[in-house]
Structure 1
Amino acid sequence: MLPPLDALLETAHVVALPLVTRFRGIETREALVMQGPQGWTEFSPFTEYDDEEASAWLRAAIDFGWHQLPAPLRTSIPVNATVPAVNADQVAGILGRFPGCRTAKVKVADPGQSLADDVARVRAVRDALGPEGRIRVDANGLWNVDEAEHAIHALAEFDLEYVEQPCATVDELAEIRRRVKYMSVPIAADESVRKAEDPLAVARAKAADLLVIKTQPLGGITAAARIVAQAGLPVVVSSALDTSIGLSMGAYLAASIPELEYDCGLGTAALLAADVTNDRMLPEAGAVTVRRVDADPALLSEHAADTARRDWWLARLARCYALVEANPGL
């Protein structure tokens, strides 16, 4: 059942959290957190997303704050370090924020950077992790097929665990998967799942070896778990630069999946210079604990967004609520 809008607005807090380093083109992460009968929850679609896309994130917030959670199958989730598109000499400092993590996801194909920059960054990660560490790279769909093939060849010496969203479309993913199959480099789909009208299309097209699953963009734990079950592919549960509250949501999803072969991208609180709680979802010994997170009133106040941004988020929440209310069965 859908709670009334007033119940969401009553406890809503909008925060602006500084990042440790520029990531995904931003230096501050805005988010709206609120408290439902099941606990604190989060609504934090990126600001450039339209209301239709953002409404899935609101479904997730309601699912986590107002509905019963599935029984977890595990109490902790192994997580990867996340390395933004930084210079190679900054890699060691970033990895130091993820104690015990045996896997690193490295951002590549960043606008304004070259393949040589990517190679240098990935080499620095391999040097830091040693031969037993696992490295996955994420291009966010910014290569065409020929660029992706060239880049994967250039990065193959670092023994890649997989390449995430090397190209934008399902057809391109299928083509690059065919081209690099002989190299035994798996292809993962992220945007082709969470930003697609049909999140199962990439699995049906056999265009990826595994799926990256993000709880908020897919409408919450219940909806995301359904996609995982129907896809029949290995998955990595990842975050969208959430606060610790949103990461808690992702951890509960990961804990509900019967087979979890890969380390998950749920350690990104380490990239936030501030959070909404003192009990942060930070990696310890390479893992995060599956648990609810309560917001700290003092931190909500300290990092409150200014009035204009707060009003923008509350208006956005109301618009997205209207879309959810009009289509409650989605």
Structure 2
Amino acid sequence: MTDDRPRGGTPPLAVRHRPFELVLTRPLGTARGEIRNREGFVIAVERGTGDCATVGLGEATPLPGWTESREACAAALDGLSTPASDEAVNDALDAETTPAARHGVSLALADAAARGSGERLSDRLAVEAGVDAAPADAVPVNATVGDVDPAETAAEAERAADDGFDCLKLKVGARGVEGDVERVRAVREAVGDSVALRVDANGAWDRATARRALDALGAFDLAYAEQPLPADDLEGLAALRGAGGAGVPIAVDESVAARGIDAVVEAGAADAAVLKPMALGGPDRALATALRARSAGVDPVVTTTVDAVVARTAAVHVAAAIPDVSPCGLATGPLLDGDLAPDPCPVAGGRMPVPSGPGLAGDAFDELRRS
């Protein structure tokens, strides 16, 4: 009889996954098109048997354009053998080609390890990454407003401000520059000067359009313009820094996944880096990228790919492990019409609490672990 256990006697893992689909309350308009639904996989890894078993939970929710396709994600997960060693599982998943699959499994492994040691996930992530400061108990978050007409954009922004958000992100780039200027002007007039405004073009502009847009949008005191140019144009992004209207800071998102944080830093292409754990291949990789950015003077901001509750909760832990993190794009749960489980991190006053643990959120996801 073959002994499947790796050296050291660590019991092998049982790995299972099941699909899910969630729809948005309404389409989220972006420069890349509308996001109408989210399809992904709940992943569970189990070590041990019976009452001694420890089950870790993860989520792989691909978003083509940021991650692999659903089909590629499914194929990667289907390729995992059961039982399997930790090393075999990690070796089978490539963060470059199948980041969502790697995110789901690495999260499940991290959740299992944290639960086994009685730690919050954020505490374990911080220790493993060498962060000296204790993780926060709550993280600041921004509200996201999709591409809608100026009046509706202003109304959504005003509702968010009334709910306690002091930072808003507006999707731009799906219409002409003049239309986006009108939308941002309407928001600034609706919420006043005390609310920070970010815009996100998702790489929709060319260099000339981006310069024209920033020259106009700079009048509204933007915190930053996110991905105003395509992901690969690091030279163009570097040229925009400080040159567009009133020196609008530049943030990158897609550029991090496409080129890596080191290339962004070396090019001088960003003032801030927007980090999606799902697109970067896991909470561990997202935190490492955040710390590398911070060390280079680039402000890290954690956000989601409009994920379900398991991945959103993990992203909250990542953000909490970053000392003095800026408002993050994690308040995306209300965009979904239903979810996998009740949210253990409800937004209140523009902040999201970090579950006390152990693992992701104590027993909040126990039903998912059993399914």
Superposition TM-score, scaled by structure 2 size: 0.72
Corresponding residue to 1:7 among 15, 32, 37:
15
Residues 40, 61 of structure 2: 8 Å contact kept:
yes
Question: What aligned pairs does 1:53-132 form with structure 2 within 5 A after superposition?
Answer: 55-67=98-110, 68=114, 69-71=121-123, 73-95=135-157, 96=159, 99-110=163-174, 113-132=175-194
Match of residue 154 from structure 1? 216
CA distance in 1, matches of 2:155, 2:44: 35
Q: Does 1:35 align with 2:44?
A: yes
Corresponding residue to 1:248 among 300, 313, 322:
313
- Using the TM superposition, give the Cα deviation of residue 297 of structure 1 relative to its aligned residue in structure 2, in angstroms: 5.9
CA distance in 1, matches of 2:172, 2:12: 42
- Using the TM superposition, give the Cα deviation of residue 89 of structure 1 relative to its aligned residue in structure 2, in angstroms: 2.1
1:95-120, CA deviations, whole angstroms, 9 ceiling, x for partnerless residues?
Answer: 4367211010001001xx22222122
CA distance in 2, matches of 1:47, 1:213: 16
Residues 141, 328 of structure 2: 8 Å contact kept:
yes
Match of residue 228 from structure 1? 290
Match of residue 23 from structure 2? 17
> Runs of 5+ in structure 1 lacking a partner?
302-330
Change (3 A) 1:54 1:114: same
Which structure is higher in RCO with an 8 Å CA cutoff and minimum separation 6?
A: 1
Residues 235, 269 of structure 2: 8 Å contact kept:
yes
CA distance in 2, matches of 1:86, 1:155: 17
Q: Does 1:186 align with 2:249?
A: yes
Match of residue 286 from structure 1? 350
Change (3 A) 1:249 1:105: same
Corresponding residue to 1:44 among 58, 61, 65:
61
Match of residue 174 from structure 1? 238
- Using the TM superposition, give the Cα deviation of residue 91 of structure 1 relative to its aligned residue in structure 2, in angstroms: 2.2
CA distance in 1, matches of 2:98, 2:13: 13
Change (3 A) 1:223 1:279: closer
Match of residue 51 from structure 2? none
- Using the TM superposition, give the Cα deviation of residue 178 of structure 1 relative to its aligned residue in structure 2, in angstroms: 5.1
Residues 277, 296 of structure 1: 8 Å contact kept:
no
Residues 187, 210 of structure 1: 8 Å contact kept:
yes
Change (3 A) 1:92 1:276: farther
- Using the TM superposition, give the Cα deviation of residue 6 of structure 1 relative to its aligned residue in structure 2, in angstroms: 5.7
Change (3 A) 1:258 1:27: same
- Using the TM superposition, give the Cα deviation of residue 243 of structure 1 relative to its aligned residue in structure 2, in angstroms: 1.3
> Runs of 5+ in structure 2 lacking a partner?
1-5, 46-53, 73-93, 115-120, 124-133
- Using the TM superposition, give the Cα deviation of residue 26 of structure 1 relative to its aligned residue in structure 2, in angstroms: 2.3
Change (3 A) 1:3 1:172: farther
Change (3 A) 1:225 1:278: closer
CA distance in 1, matches of 2:239, 2:140: 31
User: What is the total number of aligned residue pairs between the two structures?
Assistant: 293
CA distance in 1, matches of 2:300, 2:343: 27
Residue 30 of structure 1 aligns to a residue whose secondary structure is strand
- Using the TM superposition, give the Cα deviation of residue 70 of structure 1 relative to its aligned residue in structure 2, in angstroms: 4.3
Match of residue 118 from structure 2? none
State the Cα RMSD in Å: 2.8
1:179-200, CA deviations, whole angstroms, 9 ceiling, x for partnerless residues?
Answer: 23x823111111110232x332
CA distance in 2, matches of 1:227, 1:82: 23
Identity of aligned residues (%): 33
CA distance in 2, matches of 1:118, 1:106: 9
